[in-house]
Amino acid sequence: MKTLDIIVPVYNEEDCIEETFNRLCSVRNQLFDKLNVSFLFINDGSKDSSIDILKKLSIENHFVKVIDFSRNFGHQIAVTAGIENTNADYVAIIDADLQDPPELIIDMYNKSLEGFDIVYGKRLKRENETAFKKITAFGFYRVLNSLCNLDIPTDTGDFRFITKDVVDVLKSMPEHNRFIRGMVPWVGFKSAPIEFNRDERFAGETHYPLKAMLRLAANGIFSFSLKPLKFINWLGIFLLLIAMFSLLKMNLLSATICFVGALQLFAIGIIGIYIGRIYEEVLNRPLYIIKDKYNL
């Protein structure tokens, strides 16, 4: 029988895990005659009792595998660890807070049987998320696509179902700055969306406040686009025109100097970001450190 591993990144989700586990179990039962389903939880350095709950679940259920990180490495890295530690024929990635309905994994599996290697959840409605989050998320996917030479589906998170072929390619991508929802479409293969309404968090709070969201957005843009670098060239040309214009006008001199100074800093900043990323890759540190594994 073919195998399915459901990857669940966990950071401070003590109030969600049991309910998520129960819902995943019902998915497992419904797929019982078709797939051999395991759950792979990655505890991303939770500070609450998440790991104790996960340990208990892994002792009671042979199909619950747990990777326990030495500290918090971030959502994208936790998912990466899941991908690198699976050998299943199919992999599903789902959040631990039940915002992505687990039952959809069954639909995703059925869709994949039609010949799709990637089936991704496309969000229609976001239940009880702030207007700010909705607007920034809406803008983010559209800006990203216009900057990147890549067709990243709009309004999709990491909730998706992929085949071993895709997983194997992802395993071979060593980049440190990981933006999984960009890396999966980069791989290629046939993909299809399944639309769903994003639910409210079952309990607890988002771990993607504005700062984390901006970091993820920057990761997406700088990992998949050199356009910000090219943009600097255009700025240069633009500045040249301004300089010529102010030469004619003379009086704009001080304003121009300030403007030029600001733009130079901006340009250096962008180059700095790319150099910083090169530095991180050159260091070649491990992406994450595993403290313990259970049932693995």
**List of residues contacting ligand UDP (CB under 6 A):** 9-11, 13, 44, 72, 74-75, 78, 95-97, 99, 206-208
Residue 251 burial (C-beta neighbours within 10 Å; 0-12, 13-18, 19+): exposed
The least CB distance from residue 21 to ligand UDP, in Å, is: 13
Select 31 or 213, whichever has its Cβ closest to Mg ion: 213
Q: What's the CA gap between 212 and 4, in Å, rounded?
A: 30
Select 7 or 221, whichever has its Cβ closest to ligand UDP: 7
The least CB distance from residue 69 to ligand UDP, in Å, is: 9
The least CB distance from residue 201 to Mg ion, in Å, is: 5
Residue ranges binding Mg ion (CB under 5 A): 95, 97, 99
Q: What's the CA gap between 5 and 87, in Å, rounded?
A: 8
10 Å Cβ neighbour count for 129?
16
Contact (CB, 8 A) for 120 and 152: no
Contact (CB, 8 A) for 159 and 95: yes
Q: What's the CA gap between 244 and 75, in Å, rounded?
A: 49
Contact (CB, 8 A) for 200 and 126: no
Select 95 or 158, whichever has its Cβ closest to Mg ion: 95
Choose the one of ligand UDP, Mg ion, none that binds residue 75, judging by a C-beta under 5 to 8 angstroms depending on kind: ligand UDP
Give the 3-state secondary structure of residue 109.
helix
* Beta strand spans in the chain (E): 2-10, 35-43, 64-69, 90-93, 118-126, 156-163, 191-198, 290-294
The least CB distance from residue 96 to ligand UDP, in Å, is: 3
The least CB distance from residue 260 to ligand UDP, in Å, is: 39
Select 117 or 178, whichever has its Cβ closest to ligand UDP: 178
The least CB distance from residue 272 to ligand UDP, in Å, is: 25
Select 62 or 211, whichever has its Cβ closest to ligand UDP: 211
Choose the one of ligand UDP, Mg ion, none that binds residue 207, judging by a C-beta under 5 to 8 angstroms depending on kind: ligand UDP
Select 67 or 148, whichever has its Cβ closest to ligand UDP: 67
Select 141 or 208, whichever has its Cβ closest to ligand UDP: 208
The least CB distance from residue 218 to ligand UDP, in Å, is: 16
Going by C-alpha positions, the residue among 185, 125, 124, 134 that lies closest to residue 160 is 185
Going by C-alpha positions, the residue among 119, 117, 75, 81 that lies closest to residue 97 is 75
Between the alpha carbon of residue 61 and those of residues 65, 192, 277, 294, the distances in Å are 9, 32, 41, 11
Contact (CB, 8 A) for 42 and 141: no
